[in-house]
Structure 1
Amino acid sequence: MDQIKWGIIGCGNVTEVKSGPAFNKVPNSQLVAVMRRDAEKAEDYAKRHNVPKWYSNVDDLINDPEVNAVYIATPPNVHEEYAEKAMRAGKPVYVEKPMAMNAGECDRMNAVSKETGIPLFVAYYRRSLPYFVKLKELIYSNIIGDIRYVNICLQWQPYDEEVGELRKPKWRVQPEISGGGHFHDLASHQFDYLEYVLGPIKQASGIARNQAGLYEADDITVANFEFESGVLGTGTWCYTINKEQREDSAQIVGSKGRIKFSFFEKFDIVVETETGSETFTIPYPPHVQQPLIELIVAELRGEGKSPSNGVTGGRANLIMDWITKGQKQVL
């Protein structure tokens, strides 16, 4: 491909700043069409972002002859269906995370990609975000020695929509749409990145429960996991605490020190060794998916390689399946 001309399926909130504008800022890339079931919202998005065409039907966008690559930014329950349609139409797919509802769907998506020869990418953009590129560099520098273990703690207060009078939950906490709850939405980023820098996780177990009864999905998860390298990991995710207890922390501990960082909210990386402490502050760019989109465009043009694809993306779903099923499984 010379010029990558994108069509977006599902132009919701994630596409407003994180991803949508980036398609027109990357060299040799252009956003030419968007689709949303609500035609008025699709038209509004297109006009605000200077996109020439908009649709309210998925097939119309996929079959648009000008569109030669498709970004799927819908909830996970339709990722498999839409990705297969696009790939069978000969159009590379960039799909939001989590890649699908579960590992089985991811496997089927990858099978279609292999059968058709059409590339499949997943929006695990931390693999190319400057903050996490620096974090990987620090881990690989051996500054903290041999890696011993990883610990994650993510706890947030409930969203207003989940505890209001109507108690109408967001789609992210409706398992039939999202595949799970906030754990599936957010931990997917964490497991994907940890495998990227520390290698495959070979086993994982956990307990997932609903304690607060605000919605159907699990609202607390605890987990243990082990990497093939022998590094161990633990994590706690809770989404029903008060604002003062909000925490987004992670640490990688080695034989000579530790690295403290945040997966979502903070821009500092702190390295602690016996010689002292050093802090690296690396803010996110305006459009966090832009560095990854640049690499995807480069791969589609035969000029580079994306670090995130369907095979790597499906791993996060597999690990979360192991944990939320409450069963210890080994590859």
Structure 2
Amino acid sequence: MKKIKDSEVHWGVVGVGNVCEVKSAPAMKIVPNSKLVAVMRRDEEKVKDYATRHGVSKWYTDPEKLINDPEVNAIYIATPPYAHFELTKLAAAAGKPVYVEKPMARTHEECLRMIQTCRDAEVPLYVAYYRRALPHFVKIKEIIDQGILGEIRTVHINLKQVLKPTIVANLDNNWRVDPEIAGGGYFFDLASHQLDLLDFFFGAITHADGFSSNQAQAYEAEDIVVGSFAFESGVLGTGNWCFTSSENAEIDEVTIYGNKGMIRFETFGKGEFTLELDGKPAEKFHFELPPHIQEPLIDSIVGDLLGTDTCPSLGTSAARTNWAMDMMTIKRIG
């Protein structure tokens, strides 16, 4: 697999939008041996504004021009999922490593095509499941791997959110609930992080099933999903996601159960989790999170490209998450 020959990673960002304001692209300027050299967005006024505010010397409105810029040696695709495959093809054809936003694509089939495209071009494919590199989740994996919870039996995801009036009022500008663009609704946007994180903890998801529905009929995509899944390690799990709940029912909780204790955490909250072991008082762990939340993962990508580190989030692992989501939403009720 070809990495890069240079001593620094020179990033070009395709689709420089909201996710690039704080979460991702600024980290590319502060990670050692990494530079952000060019950004692209089709709206000329917006891309110029971003480049000016963030001190980026080059900007484009054409993705091919950015991808083929000789100064750029790695491509970050920060567009909605519908464009990921075609842009990955362009980057791979140019012989440049690809870092793509999550979810990896709209469907598992698109993921497989992206993997094959990069494999044929011999370029790495990374996916922005940055929670794999955050300190509290790395610590949870250490606890699991060290056997502190004993044998892991099961895991349960419980995510409930309110359907806010602003969501309904701005559907035309909300690509996250347009299946043609996003592949699904908020389940694809949010549950993908959770399922990928469990894949990180327990190994590959090997079985998945479930039901989905559009109960509130506020938009086209599913708004509720219930699912079950299994991992290669033998751990079994369930999930319940509802995006039209009442305010007093809102919850973000993942619970991991072993035969010696349990761990509870929020996927989208602070860098905290609670460890409860049999016969001992509950212990709360807290970790400071970086201001640019993708920084630890981007740091690992830069290291991987330069041969000094390995990245925990690859196209092959991310594709498994898409497969699980496909399996859990294929049976639509109503």
TM-score (norm 1): 0.96
Match of 1:52 in 2: 57
SS of the counterpart of 1:212? coil
Q: Within 1, Cα distance between the matches of 2:35 and 2:46?
A: 20
Aligned 1:91-106 pairs, distance under 5 A: 91-106=96-111
1:269 is aligned, of 257, 261, 273, to 273
Match of 1:210 in 2: 214
Match of 1:234 in 2: 238
Match of 1:173 in 2: 177
Is 1:129 the counterpart of 2:134? The answer is yes
Unaligned runs of 5+ in 2: 1-5
Match of 1:200 in 2: 204
Kept after mapping to 2: 8 A contact 1:172/1:181: yes
Kept after mapping to 2: 8 A contact 1:34/1:55: yes
SS of the counterpart of 1:192? helix
Is 1:118 the counterpart of 2:117? The answer is no
Q: Within 2, Cα distance between the matches of 1:284 and 1:221?
A: 30
Match of 2:3 in 1: none
Task: For residue 156 of structure 1, report the CA deviation from its aligned partner.
Answer: 1.0
Is 1:150 the counterpart of 2:155? The answer is yes
More divergent stretch after superposition (228-237 vs 217-226)? 228-237
Q: One-letter code of the match for 2:175?
A: W
Q: Within 2, Cα distance between the matches of 1:208 and 1:319?
A: 13
Give the percent of matched residue pairs that are identical in Structure 1 and Structure 2.
52
User: Over residues 180-206 of structure 1, what are the superposed CA-to-partner deviations in whole Å (9 max), with x where a residue is unaligned?
Assistant: 000011111111111111112211110
What count of residue pairs does the alignment treat as equivalent?
326
Task: For residue 295 of structure 1, report the CA deviation from its aligned partner.
Answer: 0.8
Q: Within 1, Cα distance between the matches of 2:298 and 2:270?
A: 23
* Structure 1 stretches of 4+ moved >4 Å: none
2:228 is aligned, of 218, 224, 227, to 224
Q: Within 2, Cα distance between the matches of 1:69 and 1:241?
A: 41
Q: Within 2, Cα distance between the matches of 1:266 and 1:3?
A: 32
Kept after mapping to 2: 8 A contact 1:169/1:215: no
Match of 1:326 in 2: 331
Unaligned runs of 5+ in 1: none
User: Over residues 253-291 of structure 1, what are the superposed CA-to-partner deviations in whole Å (9 max), with x where a residue is unaligned?
Assistant: 010111111111233211111222111012321011001
User: Over residues 164-195 of structure 1, what are the superposed CA-to-partner deviations in whole Å (9 max), with x where a residue is unaligned?
Assistant: 2x653610000000000000111111111111
Kept after mapping to 2: 8 A contact 1:261/1:269: yes
Match of 1:184 in 2: 188
Q: Within 2, Cα distance between the matches of 1:159 and 1:176?
A: 22
Q: Within 2, Cα distance between the matches of 1:90 and 1:147?
A: 42
Aligned 1:240-251 pairs, distance under 5 A: 240-251=244-255
Kept after mapping to 2: 8 A contact 1:150/1:251: yes
Task: For residue 161 of structure 1, report the CA deviation from its aligned partner.
Answer: 3.3
User: Over residues 269-322 of structure 1, what are the superposed CA-to-partner deviations in whole Å (9 max), with x where a residue is unaligned?
Assistant: 111112221110123210110011111111111212111111111111011111
Is 1:73 the counterpart of 2:78? The answer is yes
Q: Within 2, Cα distance between the matches of 1:167 and 1:23?
A: 32
Q: Within 1, Cα distance between the matches of 2:83 and 2:67?
A: 14
